[in-house]
Structure 1
Amino acid sequence: MNALAFHLIAAWLAFAWHGTPEVRASNILAFLPTETHSHFNGFKPLLRELVKRGHNLTLVSPFSLGNDLLYTHIEVEKHYLEKKINHMDRSRLLNKLPVVVYVLWLGPKITKIALDRNAVKNFIRNDGSSFDLVLFENFFTESCVTIGHKYGAPVVQLLPFNTNPRVSQWHGNPYNPAYIPEFTSNFPTGMSFVQRLGNTALAFFSTCMYRLVSIPQHRAIMDSYFDYPGHEGRPDLTDMLRNVSLTVYMSNPVLGTVSPTVPNFIPMAGTHTTPAKQLPQDLKEIVDGAKNGVVFFSMGSVIQASKMPNETVSLLLSELGKIKQTVLWKWEDDSIPDLPKNVIVRKWFPQNDVLGHPNCRLFITHGGIHSMIETIYHGVPVLCLSVFGDQAQNCIQAKSKGFAEYIPFFELTSKAFGDNLRSLLDDSRYKVNAQKSSAILKDNPISLMDNVVFWIEYVIRHKGAHHLKTAANDIYWFQFLLLDVVAFVSLLSTVFVYISFKCFRCTFRKCLKRKNNKISSEKKVQ
């Protein structure tokens, strides 16, 4: 039984046998000060649901939950850093270095930028509220776990990606590189020997260098920014990470690698999916009137298609102009290139509603987890053009499920794009596999949102739910890897082999001596 099934069935049984558990209105802090809009959009439905269920939520973030809910918003100043970065620039250092390398300094940098905002500094130093639970996003921002110590509350960490060695090591969560690809490895689930060798090296590098490089930086950040009454007696950063009560991670077995997890690791990808609503009238007329269907093209909320190199834009438009379908392209700039007759560009489209329209034939996307889960939910095939981060891994997994094709953005060619585009539109197997994956995603004993909320409230009810933690939290790394057992067995084996060798040699010498004596005696008789 996989981890998702276990958590869903456990939650369902709780509802079935006892009804909805009694939950009082709890005071919850959501500490999300980083300016990562795409991540916030993934967590936003969960935060809204907690408010709808009567909890008193305090949100520390540059982004809001909307004006229709009653909650406290500590608004963090925006610097619009995401829009200033051109992810399409091949010469950028981040596009040249492996992800596992640049996150060693990117994580601390993101954390510093977020914590250095006046609203955040003032909140950490002066807020005197009391909370029953603290949520924080761990986007390589481990020092933010310290906010839980300030309030003496159980901590839930929200991961905007799948489980990985970096996080798993603090919780004894299984992470076997023999069959679980490191999320930055770009390896498929069924790895060859060479890939397993590389995956093992990546997992080892990620774990060790994280401890040696990132953790010292986060300790310094913690000491600089988390200056509140009582901070002098707080535990070490690694101890606070081990004390996290619940990890809610952005993945789902329908897309990510199926792997075992400890009971306090809960998947949440899919909680933001909703049935499609009716399109705005002008867009509805376009989509309804597309005789051969529509192709939707969007690179998400962070990557701006309008910043693509001119030659890439020309390449894409040339191939898109050859198909019969109407193309809806999310284009963020006022400067619009010469477009084929079948291509329509706008600065924004209601993505969920377009994907959910029965006339949507194909989704061209960067491969972000939220976009991938939405297209799976609506059963639409995908052409992935991954740019950075975990996008490539999401695309590889989607291709392995049979409903996607994958081209790394910086390896894009007219032939590769055109061939894959036509294949996805002409081969019905992609649509069939997309619908199969959609059926799997939707087939749960309770909704994915109810499952996540159940376990968050479970942590509140049981004051941190420390009984969910494994004994792996209390042993050294060499004990977790059984290196002490291996060393002991190796020592015993060595001693046994040594004693056996000595006995054999002694016996052999005695036999040889006896034989020599016998030969000598026979010679004397002669």
Structure 2
Amino acid sequence: MKFNNIIILFSALFSQVLSLNILGVFPYQGKSHFFVFGPYLKELARRGHNLTVISYFPLKEPIDNYHDIKLSGKVLEDVFPIYRSYWTIIETSLFLKNSGQENCITLLENENVQRLWKTEQKFDLMLMELFNNDCALGLAHKLGLPVVGLTSHVLMPWHYEDYGIQYNPSYVPVLFLEGGTKPTLYQRIERSIFHVYLVYLHKLTCRRNNQKTLAQYFDDVPPLADLAKNVKMLLLYTNYVVSGSGLYPPNVREVGGYHVTKPKELPQDLKKFIEESEHGVVYISFGSMLRSTSTPKDKLDAIIAAVSEIPQRIIWKWEEKTLPGNPKNIFISNWLPQNDILAHPKVLAFYSHCGMLGTTEAIHYGVPMIGMPIFGDQPGNAAAIEESGLGVQIHIKDLTKELLLEKLRIVLNPEFRRKVKELSKVWHDRPQSPMDTAIYWTEYAARTANYTFRTPASSVPLYQYRIWDVTAVILAILIIFIYSIKTVISLVQKRREDRYYEFKTK
């Protein structure tokens, strides 16, 4: 009897550490996106799970349990200009549409990817980036895998309906546009129009084209709209402390922060520049997708003039060897270890384009921000930065030397910086670290593969979701009631008139 109990105990222990065989599909070539996913994927491998990762970003140094399938194509970096208009929003939306279809074709054409389904390779789970195409959902269906979706940003407009999350322009930002949770009437109109435009552009073009591409390889893929609603878990790269509270169903979990790694030793020249600064340092970077050198000359002059008047030293991610005027208090480089810089206690402020990675690192280390959003989720991030108290925002069309100096003085104020440090403590105050949270829900999705936790709202027809049918019935009843009352009054009135006429004729 005791021997049987020992066998049961060992079996239970073994089942707890049994590793998962995971397929990761990351078909978008944006470098900044994969910066987020990389640490999470490596940590899964470190914890004993076996990963096969399809992406444009193979590991430079192999690690145990991690196997790459490299997609061919150009990595996207430094490709967006620093200006914004309605036309650039349209251009960006068309880029998302076109690249989504190209990513789908590139994914399915890859011989190593094809080998996965042709050899019927077995996996327990698929991880996929949810961004500009749904092609991997068809592959997951073919392989019979539950799906965990990942983002490196806020929800895309077309994901609200997929997960049954209500979109309300009165308080929910939309990609590319400003206003935060307190938009003006004009901004609400803007949001409503662009939200509908982006959702139906994705549905009617990218999703439909993905379906046609999948049909060239598989003859049994259900509509992608249905597969999108069956994603087991979505790990959303936000956190309510900065991004604001959202009404999410149980299968959507906020995990913002897991890409932030332990800071490393800074290069000696950079470390010396920071530590010898008497009044601290301001860090300037517009990320990997924007070229500082494409900044309009008048705006560049305004930035240089403003930072030349403050006592702090400046570290600036700049793609050329020299900066106009060669200011002595500015350290420039085309690559900088951003996480390690922001971790240094002498770095007092961060002037940024408000990408999610930089914003997350800033709140992690308690560094106040000046946000200058350009495209994508950046306007919404900038509004969240200001509303949460992490920093202030400035729009490039309004940028002048005087305005930037005003914003710099705000974030460099010791009292403002103290409040940001307090906000950072709130951000860190969680039952689990962001990485542990992300991995827990990943493993949970595999353990509960036969169950679904999506909200019924994701499958309710639109007319029911918006209660148009109920509204129509109530309006019909009101109309019938009013018409009936009006008819009764008319009949009563007519009868009175008839009696009066009879009385007069007698």
User: Aligned partner of 1:123: which letter?
Assistant: N
What is the CA deviation profile of residues 104-150 of structure 1, one whole-angstrom value per residue up to 9, with x for unaligned ones?
43223213433444895213322232111111112211233222112
Q: 2:311 — aligned with what?
A: 324
CA distance in 1, matches of 2:122, 2:59: 21
CA distance in 2, matches of 1:115, 1:215: 10
- 2:141 matched to 1:152? no
Q: 1:44 — aligned with what?
A: 38
What is the CA deviation profile of residues 16-56 of structure 1, one whole-angstrom value per residue up to 9, with x for unaligned ones?
xx999935211111111321110000111211121122111
Q: 1:478 — aligned with what?
A: 463
> Does the CA contact (< 8 Å) of 2:105 and 2:213 recur in 1?
no
Q: 1:15 — aligned with what?
A: none
Q: 1:211 — aligned with what?
A: 203
> Does the CA contact (< 8 Å) of 2:97 and 2:202 recur in 1?
no
Q: 2:162 — aligned with what?
A: 170
CA distance in 1, matches of 2:358, 2:28: 21
What is the CA deviation profile of residues 67-121 of structure 1, one whole-angstrom value per residue up to 9, with x for unaligned ones?
26211111223424434x2523x5xxx865253x445432232134334448952
> Does the CA contact (< 8 Å) of 1:401 and 1:433 recur in 2?
no
- Of residues 244, 266, 273, the one that matches 2:260 is 273
> Does the CA contact (< 8 Å) of 1:269 and 1:370 recur in 2?
no
> Does the CA contact (< 8 Å) of 1:164 and 1:175 recur in 2?
no
Q: 1:455 — aligned with what?
A: 441
The 5-angstrom pairing of residues 35-74 of structure 1 reads 35-65=29-59, 67=61, 69-70=63-64, 71-74=66-69
- 2:87 matched to 1:97? yes
The DSSP-based 3-state class of the residue aligned with 2:240 is: coil
> Does the CA contact (< 8 Å) of 1:107 and 1:140 recur in 2?
yes
User: Aligned partner of 1:97: which letter?
Assistant: W
The DSSP-based 3-state class of the residue aligned with 2:234 is: strand
CA shift in 2, pair 1:115/1:219, >3 Å = closer
Q: 250-259 or 120-129: which moved more?
A: 120-129
The DSSP-based 3-state class of the residue aligned with 2:363 is: helix
CA shift in 2, pair 1:385/1:65, >3 Å = same
Q: 1:506 — aligned with what?
A: 491
> Does the CA contact (< 8 Å) of 2:55 and 2:71 recur in 1?
yes
Q: TM-score, normalised by structure 1?
A: 0.86
Q: 2:7 — aligned with what?
A: none
CA shift in 2, pair 1:274/1:81, >3 Å = closer
CA distance in 2, matches of 1:404, 1:397: 9
The DSSP-based 3-state class of the residue aligned with 1:295 is: strand
CA distance in 2, matches of 1:59, 1:26: 14
The DSSP-based 3-state class of the residue aligned with 1:394 is: helix
CA distance in 2, matches of 1:239, 1:433: 45
CA distance in 1, matches of 2:104, 2:244: 33
The DSSP-based 3-state class of the residue aligned with 2:335 is: coil
CA shift in 2, pair 1:140/1:117, >3 Å = closer
Q: Aligned residue pairs: how many? A: 491
CA shift in 2, pair 1:95/1:81, >3 Å = farther
- 2:232 matched to 1:248? no
CA distance in 1, matches of 2:168, 2:450: 27
Q: 1:439 — aligned with what?
A: 425
- 2:420 matched to 1:420? no
User: Aligned partner of 1:168: which letter?
Assistant: Y
> Does the CA contact (< 8 Å) of 2:130 and 2:151 recur in 1?
yes
> Does the CA contact (< 8 Å) of 1:298 and 1:330 recur in 2?
yes
CA distance in 2, matches of 1:23, 1:505: 81
CA distance in 2, matches of 1:173, 1:33: 25
In structure 2, the gaps of 5 or more residues are 1-11
CA distance in 1, matches of 2:208, 2:102: 17
CA shift in 2, pair 1:122/1:411, >3 Å = farther
What is the CA deviation profile of residues 306-359 of structure 1, one whole-angstrom value per residue up to 9, with x for unaligned ones?
343444433322221111111111223335543212111123222112111111
- 2:132 matched to 1:108? no
- 2:482 matched to 1:497? yes
What value does the CA root-mean-square deviation take over the aligned residues? 2.6
User: Aligned partner of 1:370: which letter?
Assistant: L
> Does the CA contact (< 8 Å) of 1:362 and 1:383 recur in 2?
yes
The 5-angstrom pairing of residues 125-524 of structure 1 reads 125-127=114-116, 128=119, 129-224=121-216, 227=217, 231-425=218-412, 427-463=413-449, 465-466=451-452, 468-520=453-505, 524=506
User: Aligned partner of 2:87: which letter?
Assistant: L
Q: TM-score, normalised by structure 2?
A: 0.89
- Of residues 62, 72, 76, the one that matches 1:77 is 72
Q: 2:3 — aligned with what?
A: none
Q: Aligned residues: percent identity?
A: 27
CA distance in 2, matches of 1:110, 1:21: 42
> Does the CA contact (< 8 Å) of 1:33 and 1:120 recur in 2?
no
What is the CA deviation profile of residues 430-455 of structure 1, one whole-angstrom value per residue up to 9, with x for unaligned ones?
31332232112101011122112111
User: Aligned partner of 2:178: which letter?
Assistant: N
1:292 positional shift: 0.4
CA distance in 1, matches of 2:212, 2:398: 39
The DSSP-based 3-state class of the residue aligned with 1:63 is: coil
CA shift in 2, pair 1:118/1:424, >3 Å = closer
Q: 2:6 — aligned with what?
A: none
CA shift in 2, pair 1:143/1:448, >3 Å = same
Q: 2:18 — aligned with what?
A: 24
CA distance in 1, matches of 2:315, 2:458: 50
